[in-house]
Copies of this chain bind each other. A is one copy, B any other.
Amino acid sequence: MNKKISTDPHLDFERPLVTVDVVIFSVIDDKLAVLLVRRPDDEREPFPGRWALPGGFVDVNQDRSLQDCAARKLREKTGVKAPYLEQLASWGDSGRDPRGWSVTSAYFALITLPVGQAEVPIAGAPESQWVEVEEARRKRLAFDHSQILAAAVARLRSKVEYTSLPAFLLTEPFTLPQLQQTYEVVLGREVDKSAFRKRMLDAAFLEEVGVVDGVFGRAATGYRIRDRDRAVTFPRMFKSGE
């Protein structure tokens, strides 16, 4: 394509670089964590050795769409195939990548980790690590990834106030107390049990699926998400006005 002579002068414009980055969230040890990868140490690469969000160039021969590209990156880094994956926003300017004018479409994903996978590096992949969100935000990430991470965290925290998003961070079947715990982890504060349960059950996005035994005490009802393709929106915020 670069060599093709077009009849349309626009097509001979210099084209920006196009990448996709994915902010992959999970809950590990009751902490919200995000997956970071290390940039290669090659000095010819931008930001060598720095931590970055997983992502990279769109491959026009492999990716049918931006969403496909994001799903591919996620699969390559984590093996997860059916996550919650939502477009966050795009950033594009002349300065964010030293190689030239570049645009990135950022996505954020919510996934559950098979037990023990947190420490297992994926064979052949560049070094990657789950980092607790507050720690990740203190790092100076490559490119404008600190800004993208901040936007993703803000969007997640904001949506958690009025949507069922945290359910996508749990392995099914899960219980309402587990779900409440996940909300509390993401929100960073406690919520009232009674109000919480009313809210979740009234929203009718869960379906019962047997009983889950805990280690102690009374067994709890197990639930799974009715429709994994969309999160539900509650009629009010958790704390109105704040």
Instruction: Tell me the A residues contacting B by CB distance below 8 Å.
Output: 1-3, 6-8, 10-18, 44-45, 56-61, 64-66, 68, 87, 89-94, 99-101, 103, 105, 235-237, 240-242
Contact = CB atoms under 8 A, between A and B. Distances in A.
Given A1-B100, A17-B15, A237-B236, A90 B105 contact: yes
15 contacts: A2-B2, A8-B45, A14-B60, A15-B16, A15-B17, A16-B18, A16-B58, A58-B103, A60-B101, A64-B93, A66-B92, A68-B93, A90-B90, A236-B236, A236-B237
A181 B109 CA distance: 40
Given A14-B61, A58-B92, A236-B236, 8 more contacts: A8-B45, A11-B99, A13-B59, A18-B92, A64-B93, A64-B94, A65-B93, A66-B103
A58 B101 CA distance: 10
Nearest to A89: B87
A44 B94 CA distance: 30
Contacts of A105: 90, 92, 103
User: What are the nearest 9 A-B pairs in CB distance?
Assistant: A65-B93, A66-B92, A60-B101, A15-B15, A235-B240, A235-B241, A90-B90, A2-B2, A1-B14
Contacts of A91: 66
Contacts of A17: 11, 15
A142 to B, nearest CB: 15
